[in-house]
Amino acid sequence: MIFDLREEGSSGRLGAMDTLTAVLTRMLDGRLAEVRRDVREHLAKEAEHGAFDTTRLGVTEHREHVARQLRALAETKQPGLGFPTEYGGGGDIGAAVVSFEMLGFGDLSLMVKSGVQWGLFGGAVHLLGTRRHHERYLPDIVSGSLLGCFAMTEVGHGSDVQGLRTTATYDPDTAEFVVHSPDVLAHKTYIGNAARDGRLAVVFAQLVTEGKSHGVHALLVPIRNERGEVLPGITVEDNGPKAGLNGVDNGRLAFDHVRVPRTALLNRYGDVSEDGTYSSPIESDGKRFFTMLGTLVRGRISIAGSAGSATKRALTIAVRYAERRRQFEGPDGDEVVILDYLSHQRRLLPALATTYALHFAQEDLVAKLGELQGGGEAAGADDRGQRELESLAAGLKAVATWHATNTIQAAREACGGAGYMAENVLPSLKADTDVFTTFEGDNTVLLQLVAKGLLTNYKDQFEDLSPLATARFVAEQFVGAVMERTAARKVVERLVDASPTREDDGAVFDRAWQCKLFADREQHVLEGVARRLRAASRDNAFEVFNSAHDHVLRAARVHIERVVLDSFVAAVARCDDERARELLDKVCDLYVLSMIEADRAWFLEHGRLTSPRAKAVIAGVNRLCRELRPHARTLVDAFAIPESLVRVPMLDWT
């Protein structure tokens, strides 16, 4: 063995550790290493000037501060990476997503505000509009001279976008759309950039022409003039202070018969002629709706990545603190470093392993996005691939943001009272990421989308997410997407086929056994859901589906956990440095065994684990925590977060 992970003491470091850290960083950075480097340099420069020290700022000051940061960010090339080159962009959607992801290392208000500007607002103009919109608006959007909003969510309709109440009624006499909020439930709310800075809004509304509704479409509606004055017919209200992200000016928007020209309609998927005739390349209203929303999937992917960045920052701070803080006298008479306690290792190291796992899954997801939506022109070209992308994006967003919430809380607790001090960053990370679980799609609803993708083959008649439609089809097909042959899945299949079955307790470290266990659980849960939903009829569809809701959500969750494992296994296999591969192999083991431990009740109930094997899993987690403890610092340093963003005061106290 060239690299013995057990050769160090509890506080020792390998002589070649810096080199190993660099190897891990290169692997984590992947294809877009240059983009990650550029964002790190920008964040480091801003941090050195105190740009992210916002703990003492009030809401008004924080918003102005973030607006200045946004202007500074606009001067770099990062915001335009995902836009076409002819409009000042870089033509690389994957690079754009990674750029937003990396902003999660700094002030998350800046990440969210830039995501609203260039991801949601700019992305909608780019992907839902046509050349006339691109030529007129994209250069100013890319440069940051035109700030805008993404006005989808309403007071009465959040996740149920198809039920939006705002209307856009075409008037053929003037060739204008009349945008109107019929009641308070139709007011757009929590809209970033609305309360202060936005001048133009992408407004999602029910499009009505010739007396007929054609479903939800997006229109460009000016809300302020160049002097920042609210325009007639527009009502703007400030949502006020929030639990976090107070550098983002969230607000409410209401429209009182506001008229916009016919060309304000973002008409890639639906258009209205001067005489009011509606046309679309997609005949079905439902399919058109989901196609439009599907093009905007990058927002969920960006949130998952940004949540991962915030999690990495929290773990880096907590691990550094745990390596220095001492508590209680040990056998040698000296106080013990708290990371040497198994209980403390269990707080942080399984979470660190899961963070690595999610990083590689995110990397695969971004690569898939680039393949399908590169430059925007290919979006929707591969319907099946696009649906798989949307499902995976929904699932990873849910799992990654829940992981961020849980891990940042664990990191805060692991730092005791010091972790509760604002100056040590963890409280703001906790507050700022809390909403990640409900924006860009409520996580529970997103898991339902994942489950629908597993339980149906996306037949046209089921695209309205009807429980009855889902239930009817489930009896015929329910595992079509279980074993999709991605590159990662092929690696796993070869591994499983080449490995003998293990009967001893050492099997818990056998990768083939681990992969089989995850795949078997996924298939069993899906089959169980299918059997339960077969009982549905037109009269009891809602009751049957609702009573199986917990089962449906579990099906989605175990599917995503299996996909994440596939990505991690494939990442380990492609690592060409033996020391790094051996370390990552143990980190992957810890991810798997900690997931099995957390769900061991299911595995025991369903006969997948014996009682002795379940105990071996727990012992395996303990063993891996001890073996990885000397390398905890290496693993967090490999994230390469700018030093100024993790150098918090409590590290100087210990």
Q: Which helix (H) or strand (E) holds 364?
A: helix 342-373
Token pair listed for 381: 């070209």
Backbone angles phi and psi of 257, in degrees to 5: 50, 50
Q: 10 Å Cβ neighbour count for 80?
A: 25
Beta bridge partners of 226: none
- Considering only CA atoms, which of 248, 198, 189 is closest in space to residue 224? 198
- Considering only CA atoms, which of 244, 233, 201 is closest in space to residue 436? 244
Q: What does the pLDDT read at residue 501?
A: 55
472 falls in which pLDDT band (50, 70, 90)? very low
Phi-psi region of 91 (alpha: psi -120 to 50; beta: other; left: phi over 0): left
Rg, the chain, Cα only: 25
Go through 538-577 and write b for each residue having 16 or more CB atoms within 10 A of its CB, e for each that does not.
Answer: eeebeebbeebeebbbbbbbbbbbbbbbbbbbbbbbebeb
- Could you tell me if 612 and 31 are in contact, meaning their C-beta atoms sit under 8 angstroms apart? no
Q: 10 Å Cβ neighbour count for 135?
A: 12
Beta bridge partners of 167: 180, 206
Backbone angles phi and psi of 336, in degrees to 5: -90, 135
Q: Is the pLDDT reported for residue 610 higher than 50?
A: yes
Query: Could you tell me which residues come within 8 angstroms of residue 565 by beta carbon, excluding any fewer than 6 positions away?
Result: 357, 492, 514, 515, 518, 588, 591, 592, 595
Backbone angles phi and psi of 554, in degrees to 5: -65, -40
- Between 363 and 52, where is the model more confident? 363
- Considering only CA atoms, which of 162, 254, 276, 157 is closest in space to residue 201? 254
Mean pLDDT of 87-95: 92
Q: What does the pLDDT read at residue 260?
A: 98
Whole-angstrom distance, CA of residue 97 vs CA of residue 304: 10
The separation between the first and the last C-alpha atoms of the chain, rounded to the nearest angstrom, is: 36
Q: Residues 514-552: pLDDT tens digits? A: 999 999 999 999 888 878 877 777 778 788 788 888 999
Name which of 42-51, 124-133, 466-475 the model is least confident about.
466-475
Domains and CATH numbers, the chain: 148-283 (2.40.110.10), 443-644 (1.20.140.10)
Name the 3-class secondary structure at 537.
Answer: coil
502 falls in which pLDDT band (50, 70, 90)? low
Cα dist from 201 to 180, 310, 543, whole Å = 14, 29, 39
Go through 340-356 and write b for each residue having 16 or more CB atoms within 10 A of its CB, e for each that does not.
Answer: bbeebbbbbbbbbbbbb
Whole-angstrom distance, CA of residue 634 vs CA of residue 316: 10
- Considering only CA atoms, which of 385, 366, 391 is closest in space to residue 567? 366
Work out the mean pLDDT of the chain and round it to a whole number. Answer: 88
Q: Is the pLDDT reported for residue 573 higher than 90?
A: yes
Name the 3-class secondary structure at 12.
Answer: coil
DSSP annotation string for 243-311: SS-TTS--EEEEESSEEEEGGGB--SS-EE-TT--EE-S---HHHHHHHHHHTTTHHHHHHHHHHHHHH
DSSP 339: G
Name which of 13-17, 206-210, 561-565 the model is least confident about.
13-17
Q: Residues 621-646: pLDDT tens digits? A: 999 999 999 999 999 999 999 999 99
DSSP 154: B
Query: Could you tell me which residues come within 8 angstroms of residue 580 by beta carbon, excluding any fewer than 6 positions away?
Result: 20, 23, 24, 27
- Considering only CA atoms, which of 469, 460, 467 is closest in space to residue 285? 460
Burial class (CB in 10 A: 0-12, 13-18, 19+), 293: middle
- Could you tell me if 36 and 97 are in contact, meaning their C-beta atoms sit under 8 angstroms apart? no
Name the 3-class secondary structure at 167.
Answer: strand
